Amino acid sequence: MPSPLLMDRWPLLGDLRPPGCLVGAGVYVVLRHVLPRSCCLRPLSLVEPTVAIYLPEGIFLHPGGHTFAHQCDLKPSTSARGDLNVATMNPLAVQVPHTDTEQQKLTFDRGVPRTLVHKTAVSEVLLTDAVRIGSNRYTVAAQWPQHHTLFGSGICPAGTADPQLLVETVRQSGIYLSHVYYGVPQHHPFVLTSLEYELEPPTARSAARTAPHSVLVDVACRLDAGVDDRFGMTLDATLVADGRLEGRVGLCWQALSPERYQRVRYPRGRGRTTPVRPHAAILDLPPPVLPPRTFGRLHQRDTMLAAGCTPDSWQLRLDTAHPVYFDHSCDHIPGMSLIESFNQAAALSSAQATGADPALLRWTLESSAVSFLAFGELDAPVTITAEPVPEPSELGRQPVRVAAEQDGRLLAAAALIGVLTSAAAGGAQ
């Protein structure tokens, strides 16, 4: 069973019971212990455990376990064919339906224009196509490469998809859809405010994959009420690679006009940070706390942590010449680099809690919820702290709280759940 999102675990991130399964519209699903609480979207209804319902167009299940309405009301628990006998369906086996007709409309043979996903290098473009399938509903096509400078094969040693690759695919999807289908000008900066994701458990077949992966992303969007110079969106996506459900990602962000961005970014006037251009000169970086292979990475520049002042804190290693995190001009610490540093900090913190050498253990991330609270400056040190949550172990899972601070300001906070195993149980990425 997939691990519950951490938002369901701690009062500081929400108080929910174990969630159901995120599925697309137009399918049956059996919900278990779904309890709507306060959230940014409108709860539709309280669903009792083991109740089977039909999800018509515009209805989907959020990873946090809520049922939400988009442009329509919940229909009776019957399908267009009148079928009612659905209570025995396994919700964990349900995948987002992509019809043959939809797939025939999509192409995987070339990437979308790089400017539509805010990339400088063509090699960093993951998306290949997209099609509208309903009101604020889309299917996005992507191709995960066999070899990538950061993601490697795209598959973690345990057989799960690389969480960074999962998030980056959905991040590009949100940017692309905003420009192509919602008319957001290409020169408007995007500001990520929150993120949550959950990875499907691995299988023997998933761990053995090596070829490039054709990915279908089922996307449901909700537009926030805004003004002329701000476009806000909440996006929930389910990713299926080569027929296998890989995971779910939820994003919230705003696209701002350049003028509004400047006011938000520098509320007291122009700041001290000069935007970093692609392929900027490499700064002097402290040595990494551990080799990159400890975190399933390929290069030393991919190790985001250096030794800190305490055993449970580290200094962020931010290589401003990194070909992925600084693919394009940026005047602040990229959110994707903080997400990676949080994963690495959680791995180290969990290993240290056991008293074992972190290099001999392997951390497999299952779920995460991240909030971005302030812009991080590029010319000041950042401290990453991590703290395992003292609660009973559930099938070997370890929850960890992680935070990033700079000059006394909290930049971002996250809650992660992962599984710690012996590195000897699997190979390198």
3-class SS letters over the chain: CCCCCHHHCCHHHCCCCCCCCCCCCCEEEEECCECCCCCCCCECCCECCCEEEEECCCEEECCCCCEEECCCCCCCCCCCCCCCCCCCCCHHHCCCCCCHHHHHHCCCCCCCCHHHHCCCCHHHCCEEEEEEEECCEEEEEEEECCCECCCECCECCCCCECHHHHHHHHHHHHHHHHHHHHCCCCCCCEEEEEEEEEECCCCHHHHCCCCCEEEEEEEEEEEECCCCCEEEEEEEEEEEECCEEEEEEEEEEEEECHHHHHHHHCECECCCCCCECCCCCCCCCCCECCCHHHHCCCCHHHCCEEECCCCCEEEECCCCCCCCCCCCCECCCCHHHHHHHHHHHHHHHHHHHHCCCHHHEEEEEEEEEEEECCCCCCCCCCEEEEEECCCCCECCEEEEEEEEEECCEEEEEEEEEEEEEEHHHCCCC
**pLDDT at residue number 6:** 30
Sequence-ordered list of residues with C-beta below 8 angstroms from that of 202, at least 6 positions apart, any chain: 156, 158, 159, 160, 364
- Higher-pLDDT residue of 396 and 223 is 223
Question: Does some domain include residue 270?
Answer: no
Number of domains in the chain: 3
> Domain ends where: 260, 290, 322?
260
Same domain flag for 178 and 222? yes
φ/ψ of residue 334, rounded to 5: -65, 140
**pLDDT at residue number 336:** 95
Same domain flag for 108 and 90? no
Same domain flag for 353 and 242? no
Question: Does some domain include residue 266?
Answer: no
Question: Does some domain include residue 267?
Answer: no
**pLDDT at residue number 32:** 29
The per-residue pLDDT of the chain, averaged, comes to 75
Provide the domain limits for residue 66: 1-94
Looking at mean pLDDT, say which of 57-61, 184-188, 206-210, 279-283 comes out highest. Answer: 184-188
**pLDDT at residue number 395:** 61
Same domain flag for 123 and 142? yes
Question: Does some domain include residue 292?
Answer: yes
Same domain flag for 249 and 309? no
pLDDT at 324 over 70: yes
**pLDDT at residue number 201:** 86
Q: What is the CATH number of the domain that holds 210?
A: 3.10.129.10
Same domain flag for 216 and 129? yes
C-alpha of 231 from chain center: 20
- Higher-pLDDT residue of 306 and 80 is 306
Tell me the per-residue pLDDT of 139-188, one tens digit each, with 9 for 90 and over. Answer: 999 999 887 878 777 778 677 888 999 999 999 999 999 999 999 999 99
**pLDDT at residue number 224:** 87
pLDDT at 57 over 50: no
- Check: CB of residue 234 under 8 Å from CB of residue 222: yes
The fraction of the chain above a pLDDT of 70, given in percent, is: 68
> Domain ends where: 94, 110, 133?
94
pLDDT (mean) for 230-237: 95
Same domain flag for 122 and 233? yes
pLDDT at 31 over 60: no
pLDDT at 338 over 60: yes
pLDDT at 267 over 50: yes
pLDDT (mean) for 316-332: 91
pLDDT at 111 over 70: yes
Name the DSSP class of 38.
S
> Domain ends where: 234, 260, 286?
260
**CA pair distance 89, 79, nearest whole angstrom:** 14
The amino acid at 256:
L
Question: Does some domain include residue 133?
Answer: yes
- Higher-pLDDT residue of 59 and 158 is 158
Same domain flag for 286 and 372? yes
Question: Does some domain include residue 265?
Answer: no
Same domain flag for 282 and 169? no
Same domain flag for 185 and 60? no
Question: Does some domain include residue 268?
Answer: no
Same domain flag for 398 and 346? yes
Question: Does some domain include residue 190?
Answer: yes
Same domain flag for 106 and 30? no
Tell me the per-residue pLDDT of 181-231, one tens digit each, with 9 for 90 and over. Answer: 999 999 999 999 999 999 998 777 766 666 678 999 999 999 987 677 899
